[in-house]
Structure 1
């Protein structure tokens, strides 16, 4: 574990300025500025790893909504330094007078699933469960503008469709809990600069510089090159992600209308009356909404080909999609895991 070499306030001393508001500093907390037009339901939780982004967010929320904030730290136990992260979080919350709730999570991953994805899903589930148990109305996440760019670049590298190119949503629901990302317009450097200038300690996770991980290679190599060539890339990339999200919302709306006509489960003959693109859009929506099964591009293309060839009563359709099978049963398509 590495902690930034910024001066720590002693128990009986405060930094030369109020770190929550930035009063007395040349640089105010950019996270607090991002919260000025933000009005979530209260009380709320902050997902607090101890890293730079969540630390700046925690200080901002403590100033914005005093007495209404609980820090939630998810302890994955994936690193030897994890217990040290907890101690840093405890010190920060003690200094701010905030309660800290530590959740221990064991995130094993299934076959074909990356450890990072498994840890992320387990983290959201743990945050939702903890926040619900404490009567919180929302959880704030510290992802910032650089995280948004990295997410978009990862999606592009994988040939993602509109859902992937939409990158991270500013708000979403998971496990019955509302999550918000209020810092998506704030550059990472601004958060870190404020923390260093105000003397607020934070954790530098050593895995963040491990270039075996694709996201870290993007951060170390591509982001500086983009900054040199396109200084406004954070804003323009975010705008592209918002355009993709709007287009995806329209596709979902169209799929919902088409499903109302085609039926649930889909009637093959009615489905065949749509264009191939609308068939694919409808089938993806049906599988995701009704069965929580996300088909790959190759699986969806195979399924569309089988539907097109289904011209006789005895024609069979049977195709693996995600962890289940799409089959023809009489006049309709069914899915079984």
Structure 2
């Protein structure tokens, strides 16, 4: 009973220290032990503080045959606790060097962000054993202070904040609370699969560390906090220099005389601002030597997780990795939008517009949209001669990675326009306007 009181008191202390401006909490609810206990604690808090509300969200990844059953149970448990609950279904897409775990995590947080309104507080149930796992995974990746800082107690998220109120509580204490309060919860069979690094640490490493060093939870928390403070201090010292280096388009332009140490620190701070998985030290060094220091006429890049760093005109760009769309094409009818792949927007050829660019197609000319062209030299409107498309892209300062993602309009099998850049002279006219809606 004493531990029950202490756990609830620690939970309330975190909530009362970080109350949401909107007086609304959003609880990430998987139905597992940790979030099941968090739901119970939250119900107790709401009862004692009725001016606050809470809404639970179960994210259905579809990765287990039991997911439908878990979703139903979560709705029942939330209703019993007096808390509303939504079930959100997502499709987890892997590839581009991103693991199933990372893909599921990103899908989950993307959905949760949609439920966090202005001033709301997202609650997740990570605890001190999770912190050990995160710390060791960062150590395994060769991360620096930013990675070893592991999970902060609170941080900005979507339109509100993200709080982990159980972060200083052990898994053992959470389990004891669940048993004492006769709570039931779901058991995700994937949590036993030690092919996943986090599960291997959970079942094989953490128990031995705790057995050998009972205070390991506090030691890891202290080390993580110190790394976090060091990272915050570094960010403060580099703030002015970083602001000057970040360009209006979000790219990073490093001064020609910047040292390797400062340059790598600026790159790390720049990546951190974009909320992606941090590169390891080895990857950071590769960015410096193989991308920043590459020859001027090179087209260097470095990939990790689902992102890549590219260089163009001395500036660094952090980009998502996309699947190849060179074989994609679709017919387009006048005045009807054509939905482009990979969130590139929709394309409309309007017969009425302020800036007519294209002529009407002939009766035998089918209009298509594509992303690949390997044909003869072409002549844009207003130019004297023809050039290969690659050379034209260079003249129009189109970065190499955007060239394969720029829509091309074809009349029959002939290239008629490069959307956003030019119309081929033989297809110019006063009839059709090109509108690309991102």
Q: TM-score range by the shorter chain?
A: 0.7 to 0.9
**For 2:99 and 2:268, how far apart are their aligned partners in 1?**
23
Larger Rg: 2
Alignment correspondent of 1:180:
163
Q: Return the offset for 1:218.
A: 0.9
Task: State the partner residue of 1:152.
Answer: 135
SS at match of 1:73: strand
SS across alignment from 1:173 = strand
Identify which of 123, 145, 153 aligns with 1:170.
153
Distance 2:146 2:231 in 1: 6
Whether the aligned pair in 1 keeps the contact of 2:291 and 2:301 (CA below 8 Å) is: no
Paired position in structure 1 for 2:268: 284
Q: CA deviation at 1:307?
A: 8.5
Separation in structure 2 between the aligned mates of residue 223 and residue 276 of structure 1, nearest angstrom: 37
* Aligned twin of 2:54: 69
Once residues 177 and 171 of structure 2 are traced to their aligned partners in structure 1, the CA distance between those partners, rounded to angstroms, is: 10
CA pair 271-296 structure 1, distance change in 2 beyond 3 A? farther
* TM-score, normalising length: structure 1: 0.80
State whether structure 2 residue 173 is matched by structure 1 residue 190.
yes
CA distance in 2, matches of 1:56, 1:307: 47
Q: Distance in 2 between matches of 1:118 and 1:188?
A: 25
Q: 1:291 to 1:81 in 2, by over 3 A?
A: closer
Q: Partner of 1:275 in structure 2?
A: 259
Distance 1:36 1:298, change over 3 A: closer
Higher relative contact order (CA 8 A, sep 6+): 1
Q: Distance in 2 between matches of 1:131 and 1:308?
A: 38
- Using the size of structure 2 for normalisation, the TM-score is 0.63
Higher strand share: 2
CA deviations 1:38-87 (Å, max 9, x no partner) are 23211111111111111111111111123511111111111011112122
* Residue 188 (structure 2) aligns with: 205
In structure 2, which of residues 68, 72, 94 is the aligned counterpart of residue 87 of structure 1?
Answer: 72
How many residues of Structure 1 are paired with residues of Structure 2 in the alignment? 304
- CA distance in structure 1 between the partners assigned to 2:182 and 2:296 by the alignment: 70
CA–CA distance in structure 2, aligned partners of residues 101 and 76 of structure 1: 14
The structure-2 alpha-carbon separation of the partners of 1:197 and 1:321, relative to structure 1 and needing over 3 Å to count, comes to: same
**Structure 1 residue 205 displacement after superposition:** 1.7
Q: Does 1:52 align with 2:9?
A: no
Separation (CA, whole Å) in 2 of partners of 1:43 and 1:291: 24
Root-mean-square deviation over aligned CA pairs: 2.8
Aligned to 2:207: 224
Report the CA distance between 1:261 and its aligned residue.
5.1
Deviations 1:251-309 (A, max 9, x none): 222332223455636665x441x332111111333455479796554454345347996
> C-alpha displacement at 1:325, in angstroms?
5.5
Query: Equivalent residue for 2:94?
Result: 109
Match of 1:333 in 2: 315
The residue aligned with 2:12 is 36
1:119 pairs with one of 104, 108, 111: 104
Identify, as 1 or 2, the structure richer in helix. Answer: 1
Conserved 8 A contact 1:72-1:103: yes
Residue 34 of structure 1: CA displacement? 2.2
Contact 2:119/2:159, CA 8 A, preserved across alignment? no
Q: Aligned partners of 1:30 and 1:84: how far apart in 2?
A: 33
Q: Name the SS for the 2:4 alignment partner.
A: coil
Q: Which sections of structure 1, spanning at least 5 residues, go unmatched?
A: 1-24
1:215 paired residue among 181, 198, 202? 198
Structure 2: state its 5+ residue gaps.
318-398, 402-438
